[in-house]
A and B are shown apart, each in its own frame.
Chain A
Amino acid sequence: MSSDSLLSIRDVSVRFAGIVALDGVSFDVARGDICGLIGPNGAGKTTLFNCLSRLYTPAAGTIAFEGAPLLGVAAHKIAQLGIGRTFQNLALFRTMTVRQNILVGAHAHTKANFVSDALRLPSVRAEEARLAGEADELIALLDLGGVADVAVDSLTFATKKRVELARALAGKPKLLLLDEPAGGLNHDEVEQLRTLIGAIRDRLKLTVLLVEHHMNLVMRVSDKVVALDFGRKIADGTPCVVQNDPDVIRAYLGTAA
């Protein structure tokens, strides 16, 4: 394992009744990198994310985050460790406003509890002000100002995806897991997203693991790409290498790409 490896995945396997979703997958993600994760539908990409979020427990294998084993950590402690994520099919808090969703994202960094909140102690007020400020910054960063106090339910898919990104960033992650952030975006918007991901990585100094079927985006934004097929890793390397890997072309890209 290289010293600057933030995340290291070793021989991870996940099975569901009769289905092998991940089959001995191993790879590393270096600190500061943007790592693309590609593969056909059902290859196990989201499943891998779910392992990193500790929503699934692998049948075999280990995962280390900053050198410490991840699989013994409870799911609700993951955010505190510094892993944030978005969801492929959206998992917003539907009755809340954009701002409130972002505030939930900051939960891992709040110290308030039932008692201090009920009494609204000075520390709570101070923290509230701090969180509000941070939320405002994210709202500005992701251009959500116009809808900040709108209930998320009435937003379009693409905006919702941005809210999810803001929410994930509110947790101040070291590792950001993005599951198909470009879903439903048109050509222009994908370009903007590409710049945004790069900017976020640079500004906030984080590492990104990116699942995406939009090759244009993945290949241009990633430092490294990992390809899965049927739960197995079939390629791993720079975008250029992976793009031209015959297995990847056969299983995933097809001829037209």
Chain B
Amino acid sequence: MDTFLHQLLSGLANGGIYASIGLALVMIFQATHHINFAQGEQAMFSAYIALTLIQAGVPYWAAFLIALAFAFIAGVAIERVVVRQFDNAPVLAVVVVFLGMLFIINSLAGWLFTYNVQAFPSPFPVGLGSKFLSAHEIGMIGVTLVTLAVVYAFFRFTPLGLAMRAAAQNPEASRLVGIRVGWMLALGWGLAGAIGAVAAIMAAPIVYIEPNMMAGILLYGFAAALLGGINNPWGAAVGGFIVGVAENLAGAYVVGTELKLSVALVIIIVVLVTKPAGLFGRTVVTRV
């Protein structure tokens, strides 16, 4: 029983990581209708910025905020300088561009910071932890929930959030109601970058920082977003927790660790086949 509970909670902890990267994906998807394959690498890079600052003596939360600002600006810059050029390109060309960015950022990070794993500090007091969940894991879940609330409120209650969704869906009509589409896209990239940075900075103390740190996580982040519904922040967050827990339980009790990723894959496909917009996603109807 103890072990079961333990598996459950440690699944939640992993789920927190997946959820936060899933949120970043929801953000970028809502804002641009693209899935950014370089999202994980951008996040990793921002985490390195935070680490570099911390190592240089900057207090943790200051470094955290600076890294977020960096991630935001980098996201905006990437949109303005690179992605912008592909406004009218077919979606697959954009996918290739994202993959190109993934390679570039990964490579630069390896070059600047080496490929060796390094420790990453946690801001949460050790006393918080228990046998089942470490202090950092608890803190991280909390941060994920706060991020979720912010993202949700942003889309749900601010005109900016609505305008951003509109711009992604129908740029031409958006311009006709006075939305500055270019800036919306850039802003979306910036915010997604910042959320991704939160995810990476929270994940780094657990998985350690290295240029490939997000490779595994990003996949689960995708899974989370798909499972929950890529147009719904709640969905992505809940999806993340579900994937984390399901993966642990399946690995520990059902199929063994060898196939747990495959199980996650099957779960996602089964869910999508029965609910194409994900568990909590809005189904979008096309009519003629």
Contact = CB atoms under 8 A, between A and B. Distances in A.
Interface string B264-288: 0000000000000000000000011
Contacts of B288: 46, 50, 55, 87-89, 91
The majority secondary structure among interface residues of chain A is loop
Interface of B: 287-288
8 contacts: A46-B288, A50-B287, A50-B288, A55-B288, A87-B288, A88-B288, A89-B288, A91-B288
Interface string A74-103: 000000000000011101000000000000
Interface residues of A, number: 7
Contacts of A87: 288
Interface of A: 46, 50, 55, 87-89, 91
A225 B287 CA distance: 26
A198 to B, nearest CB: 26
A87 B287 CA distance: 10
A55 B287 CA distance: 9
Contacts of B287: 50
A163 to B, nearest CB: 16
A46 B287 CA distance: 10
A167 to B, nearest CB: 14
Contacts of A89: 288
Nearest to B287: A50
B123 to A, nearest CB: 46
Contacts of A55: 288
Closest 3 CB pairs of A and B: A87-B288, A91-B288, A89-B288
A2 B158 CA distance: 60
Contacts of A88: 288
A13 to B, nearest CB: 18
A149 B113 CA distance: 56
Contacts of A46: 288
Given A50-B288, A88-B288, A89-B288, 5 more contacts: A46-B288, A50-B287, A55-B288, A87-B288, A91-B288
